[in-house]
Chains A and B, each alone.
Chain A
Amino acid sequence: MATLVLDNGAYWAKIGYSQDKVSVIPNCQFRSKTSRLKTFTANQLDEIKDPSGLFYILPFQKGYLVNWDVQRKVWDHLFGKEMFKVEFPDTSIIITEPYFNFSSIQESMNEILFEEYQFQSALRINAGSLGAHHYFTTKPSELCCLLVDSGFSFTHIVPYCRSKKLKEGIRRINVGGKLLTNHLKEIISYRQLHVMDETYVINQVKEDVCYVSQQFYKDMEIAQMKGEENTVMRDYVLPDFSAIKKGFCKPQEEMVFSGKYKTGEQTLRLANERFAVPEMLFHPSDIGIQEMGIPEAIADSVQSLPEEMHPHFYQNIVLTGGNSLFPGFRERLEAELRSLVPAHLPVNVFLPENPVCYSWEGGKLLAHSPDYDEMVVMREDYEENGHIVCEEKFDI
């Protein structure tokens, strides 16, 4: 009996059998201006020759699954002949959901898994719980951990004690990768070039060029200087999809500070946007969102829990999710926390080598663990008893 682990994210779906490796596939459909009739699903993105002005159809809205049409089409493609060739009656599935998922969505998920796809058994779990499981398995001596899951739609800060999440400590910041990309699109469109339609290209820009600065105001001063002294500024060559397939950042040696480049490529000149955009994770008030940033929310979350647990949480902070891939994120978070946390408590922030797939790896470990069979709900159970059995067994 095979186990399929699916970390169903709002942007990336991390999917794979528990004995194989993980595949990271976009969890949405695309439409392109050039081939108008065709809708591309998930990894058919590679077939699109001209991803300019790419239109995204995401099943998730604000982090919760609302559009089942699109999600089912993506899943049909993933479970079908071209991808994972799932044999439903013999497969057990581990699927992730966001925190505090709505009961109507949970019920729809049950129906779709058991009645439409007819999996043999299913386990619905929070993505962070899989990450926490991974952490506790790799460090068996630790009792508590604080998981920071900074993804596409929002950032969650979740304390875990002995593999159980503490609901009163969960904090949600509504700043995620989507907000950062949209903000970057807006400021580039206002200052340089109209790119509001180019989500795919600007997302690539964000991933290539943005970083988290360790000294914000100092970097701001450097970015204001002219010419060679401005070490922050970079030129980014935009793809034109005929000669240049993928955009890239020009290395510093090749940059020309005055006048235009000899080649006819379109470039973006980015100075303070490089570090001002990821700064929104630390200070959402920069653009007017009235919420605390990640370091403050961590302090607030731990503060709401019993006093004796505080040292355990501060020593085991785990970063997962796509936004933790920004260079300098871990160091900045540690520095900011150090200034917020009482001096006698040690602070330790752990960034795994692959934060995006960390939860998936946890799911893989869970599938092989001995108590897995007690955690799942079998299809026969569901058909007899209905949603109640899922509600009791799964702790979402």
Chain B
Amino acid sequence: MFKVYLGFVCIYFFLIGVSNSFWDIRVSFSLTPAACRSIKMVLEKKSSARVEAGQRRVLDEATRQRRLTRQLEALEKDNFQDDPLSSLPPPGPTARLPAFSETEEPEKKRRKTRGDHFKQRFRKNFTTLLEEENLSERAEPNYLSAAAPPSSLPPRLFCCVCGFPSHYTCTTCGGRYCSSRCLLTHRETRCLKWTL
């Protein structure tokens, strides 16, 4: 970084010497103000994407693995928002209750006992059912053996910001990036945001 800056400064003075005039430096080197600003920005940006060696926090492998599993589990969710019905207050005594007719009641009663029984039995979630199956005791092939094995090809790595192929890894969290601009975005937005 410093070397680049030095290089620019050298070019400045060299050209001034060559032109042999006492004009304003900017005019002789014909740098527009915009170019000045962009060089300044690039230098500043590069220095801000770097984190000081003492301040940088590096996540260990276990934490990185936990983050990855949490991301993958989030991909399995059905909904990311809350149930619109759950935010409503429960219907109080002022709510209109439908009047049951006499003929409907015996049917409802029969259905109700059945329904309650079903509800108790059928409220289990997937992991509970899987454990109940006790598949390690059963003969192969079964649900667990049918899972596809890991791939023999190496994984392809993509920048977590723009999605194009990446060649570099963020030293703190292990996320991939493709260019310094993406690294800056990554550091500002995602890097250590949801770490346990």
Residues of A whose CB lies within 8 Å of any CB of B are 31-33, 36-37, 39, 53, 55-58, 61-62, 64, 66-69, 72, 99-100, 102-105, 108, 116, 156, 167-168, 170-174, 178-179, 182-183, 185-187, 190-191, 196-197, 199, 217, 220, 223-224, 272-273, 276, 283-293, 296-297, 300
Q: Does B33 contact A (CB under 8 A)?
A: no
Which A residue sits closest to B114, measured CB to CB? A116
Residues from chain B with a CB closer than 8 A to the CB of A179 are 75-76
Chain B 100-126, CB within 8 Å of chain A: the 1/0 string? 000000000000001000110110111
Please give me the residue from chain B that is nearest to A100 by CB atom. B143
User: CB distance A170 to B141 under 8 Å?
Assistant: yes
Q: Using Cβ atoms and an 8 Å threshold, which residues of chain B touch A178?
A: 76, 78
Cross-chain contact B146 with A291 (CB below 8 angstroms)? no
Quick one: closest B residue to A31, CB to CB?
A: B84
On chain B, the residues within 8 Å of A283 by CB distance are 151, 153, 155-156
Are the C-beta atoms of B163 and A272 separated by less than 8 Å? yes
Chain B hits for A62, CB < 8 A: 76, 126
Chain A residues with Cβ below 8 Å from B9 are: none
Residues of A within 8 A of B148 (CB): 171-173, 291-292, 296-297, 300
Contact B85–A69 (Cβ < 8 Å): no
* Residues in chain A near residue B80, CB distance under 8 A: 185, 196-197
Would you mind naming 5 contact pairs between A and B with Cβ atoms under 8 Å apart?
A: A168-B140, A220-B164, A285-B153, A290-B151, A291-B149
Chain B interface, number of residues (Cβ within 8 angstroms) = 51
Q: How far is the CA of A212 from the CA of B124 in the complex (A)?
A: 37
For B161, the chain A residues whose CB sits under 8 A away are 190-191
Q: Complex Cα distance A1/B83, Å?
A: 42
- Rounded to whole angstroms, the CA-CA distance of A116 and B153 in the bound complex is 50
Check if B77 is an interface residue, CB within 8 A of chain A.
yes
Q: Does the CB pair A292–B155 fall under 8 Å?
A: no
Closest chain A residue to B118, Cβ basis:
A68
CB of B130 within 8 Å of the partner chain: yes
Residues 149-179 of chain B, each 1 if its beta carbon lies under 8 Å from chain A, else 0: 1111111101001111100000000000000
Residues of A within 8 A of B55 (CB): none
Q: A182-B74, A288-B155 are in contact. List 9 more A-B contacts (CB 8 A).
A: A31-B84, A69-B119, A99-B143, A104-B132, A170-B146, A171-B147, A178-B76, A286-B155, A290-B151
CA distance A173 to B152 in the complex (A): 15
Expressed in whole angstroms, the Cα–Cα distance for A197 and B150 within the complex equals 32
Distance in angstroms between the alpha carbons of A178 and B80 in the assembled complex? 13
CB pair B79–A55 under 8 Å, yes or no, is yes
Check B133 against A104 for contact (C-beta < 8 Å).
Answer: yes
Within 8 Å of chain A (Cβ to Cβ): is B20?
no
Nearest residue, chain A, Cβ from B65: A288
Asked if residues A56 and B78 are in contact (CB atoms below 8 Å), the reply is yes
Q: Are A199 and B152 in contact, with the CB atoms below 8 A?
A: no
CA distance A37 to B85 in the complex (A): 7
The answer to whether B72 touches A100, judged by C-beta atoms less than 8 angstroms apart, is no
* A172 cross-chain contacts in B, Cβ below 8 A: 143, 146-148
A-B pairs with lowest CB-CB distance, top 10 = A285-B155, A68-B122, A100-B143, A292-B151, A61-B126, A196-B80, A197-B81, A290-B150, A167-B141, A291-B148
> Pick the contact of B158 from A69, A108, A276 — CB < 8 Å?
A276
Does B34 touch A at the CB level, under 8 Å?
no
Minimum CB–CB distance from B165 to chain A (whole Å) comes to 6
- Residue ID in chain B nearest A294 by CB atoms: B148
Contacts of A61 in B (CB 8 A): 125-126
Assembled-state Cα–Cα distance A284/B156 (Å): 10
Q: How far is the CB of B193 from chain A (nearest CB, A)?
A: 11
Once the chains bind, are A289 and B72 in contact (CB under 8 Å)? yes
Task: Identify which of B75, B84, B87 contacts A182 (C-beta below 8 A).
Answer: B75
**Is B195 at the interface (CB under 8 A from chain A)?**
no
